[in-house]
Chains A and B, each alone.
Chain A
Amino acid sequence: MTLHPDKLPLLHALADNELDAANAVALEAHLRSCGDCRAELERIRAVRDLLAAPRLRDHAPGSLHARVDAMLAAEGAAAPAPPRPPRAGLAAHVLNGRWASGALAGALAASLALLVAMPQIAQTDTEEQLVQSHVRSLLVDHVVDVQTSDRHVVKPWFNGKIDFAPPVPELAASGFPLVGGRLDYIDDRAVAVIVYRRRLHTINLFVRPAPTLSLPLGVAMRREGYSLLRWTAGGLEYWAVSDLDPKEMALFRRDYAAQAVP
C-alpha cells in the first residue's frame, strides 16, 4: 500500500479524469512531495496502458446480429395488428352524427356495437399473441425461466410473480414430462406459462385468471400450423399451444385436467 491510502481513490479518479478541479489541484500538490503516490499513479497508468490493447475489445459476431434481428422481427410481428378499419369506420361514422337520429342514439349504438364486437376482436389478438409467444420462446431458446421437472419447484416459483396459483401436475407418466415455467405477457398482463414436452414437441400452457366476460367453452383451433386448445377450470383460463396434432393436444388437456389439483 502507499503511505497515503486515503489518496488512493483520488489517484484513480485523477487517472480517469474524474476528479474535479479543486481536488485535482490539491492532489497534484501532494504528488509533488510524495514519491509513493507518484509511483502508485504510474502503476495505475501502466495498468491502463495494458488494458488499451484493441484485442481486449470484443465485437458482436454476425450470428448474434442475425439472432437479434430475427428476434426483433418476431417481436414486431407479435405486436397486435393495427385497429381494423370497420371499427374505426363505424366510430367515425357515428361520431360525425350523420347516422341515425342523433348523437346520443349514435353513441349508444356505438357503445353496444363495440361491446359486442370487442371481446371477439380481443380474442383474435390473444390467439395471435399466444402463437407468437410460443414461436418466440422456441426461437430465442427461452422456453423457461425456471427449468426443472420438479413441480414442487415450478409452483412456488410463480408465487409473488403472479396473483394466482396455476396447478402444475407432473404428467411424465402420461408422456408429457414437465420442462419448467416462465412468465409471459399476453393482453398486457403477466401470465403463467407451464412448459411440457411431448417427445420433441414443446407445449406452452398459458394460464391466467378467466376474464369475467369469457365463455366457459372449450375451443380447439389451428393457426399458422400450430394447435391451440382453450379451456377454463376453477376460475382460470388455459391455452395450450403446440405443434402437436389436435388429437394429442386433446389428450394433453385430458391428462392435465385430470391431474390438476388446484
Chain B
Amino acid sequence: MTGRFWPRLVRSAGDVRASHVPSDDRAERFRRVMLPHMDAAYMLARYLTRDPDAAEDVVQEAFLRAYRSFDGWRGDAPKAWLLAIVRNCFLTSVADAANRAPMGDVDGWTEDLPPELIEPRSPESLLGEKREAAMLRATIEQLPEPFREALVLRELEELSYRDIATITGVPIGTVMSRLARARQMLAELLLPDQPREAQA
C-alpha cells in the first residue's frame, strides 16, 4: 500500500522539477528562435489590421500565446508557426467587430470588383516613390481579407504555398485561387490598361 502511493508523490515532485529547471533555457530558446521573426509578425499584423497600433497589440498577444504554447511547437518552420498565431490573434481581435464580412462567404467571390475598390486615386495622380508605395499599400489594404492575406503571405512574407495553406487552414488549391484573384485585382487597379478587355 505504501508502495502504491509514494511513487506517485515522487513523480509529482519530479514533474514540478522537470517543468521548472529548463524554463530559463526555454525562454532563451524562444527568444533565439522566435524574436527574429518579429518583423514578419508585425508586417502580417499591419496588413491584416491596417492599423499600426492595432498591429502592435496583435503581435504582442501573439508572442504571449506563442511563448505559452512554445512546448507544442514541433521544431520546424518557426516563422510559419508564429504567423499562424498572429493570424489567430488577429481573428480573435476582430471576432466581435460587427463590420467585418464573415469569412464563410468569401470563397465564393467571383463577382467583379465592387465600385469602391476601383474608385480610389488613380496611380497617375500620385507622384514620387514614397507616395507610390503609400498608394500601393493602400491598394493592397483594400483587397478583401482572404485575398489580401494570401497575397501578403506570398509576396511580402515569401512563404511557400504549402506554408500558406497550413497557416490559413485551407487547401493549397484555395491558396492558389485566392492568390491569383488577389493579383488579378491588383493588376486591374494598378497596371496601365492593356489590350485585354475581354472580361467574360
Interface locus among A46-54, A162-170, A199-207, A208-216: A46-54
- Report, as a range, how many residues of chain A touch the other chain: 35 or more
Q: Find the B residue at minimum CB distance from A113.
A: B9
Q: Is B186's beta carbon under 8 Å from chain A?
A: yes
Q: Find the A residue at minimum CB distance from B57.
A: A141
Q: Is B97's beta carbon under 8 Å from chain A?
A: no
Alpha-carbon separation in the docked complex, A13 to B180 (Å)? 9
Alpha-carbon separation in the docked complex, A114 to B161 (Å)? 54
Q: Is A28's beta carbon under 8 Å from chain B?
A: no
Q: Is the CB of B39 within 8 A of A58?
A: yes
Q: Is A93's beta carbon under 8 Å from chain B?
A: no
Q: Is the CB of B130 within 8 A of A91?
A: no
Q: Is B103's beta carbon under 8 Å from chain A?
A: no
Q: Is the CB of B155 within 8 A of A111?
A: no
Q: Is the CB of A1 within 8 A of B137?
A: no
Name the B residues within 8 Å of A234 (CB-CB): none
> Which residues of A are in contact with B by a Cβ distance under 8 Å?
1, 8-9, 11-13, 16, 18, 39, 43-44, 46-48, 50-51, 53, 55-61, 63-65, 67-68, 71-72, 75-76, 79-83, 87-88, 91, 104, 107-108, 110-111, 114-115, 118, 140-142, 185
Interchain CB contact (< 8 A) of B35 among A18, A68, A111: A68
Name the A residues within 8 Å of B12 (CB-CB): 118
Interface locus among B13-21, B73-81, B114-122: B13-21
Q: Is the CB of B161 within 8 A of A18?
A: yes
Question: Can you give 29 contacting A-B residue pairs, CB < 8 Å?
Answer: A13-B161, A16-B161, A18-B160, A18-B161, A43-B196, A47-B183, A50-B186, A51-B136, A51-B155, A51-B156, A57-B43, A58-B39, A59-B42, A60-B41, A61-B56, A63-B56, A64-B38, A67-B60, A68-B60, A72-B67, A82-B21, A83-B13, A88-B17, A91-B13, A107-B3, A111-B5, A115-B9, A140-B60, A140-B61
Q: Is the CB of B57 within 8 A of A111?
A: no
Q: How far is the CB of A236 from chain B (nearest CB, A)?
A: 24
Name the A residues within 8 Å of B5 (CB-CB): 111
Name the B residues within 8 Å of A60 (CB-CB): 38-39, 41-42, 59
Name the A residues within 8 Å of B156 (CB-CB): 51, 56-57
Q: How far is the CB of B81 from chain A (nearest CB, A)?
A: 16
Name the B residues within 8 Å of A11 (CB-CB): 180
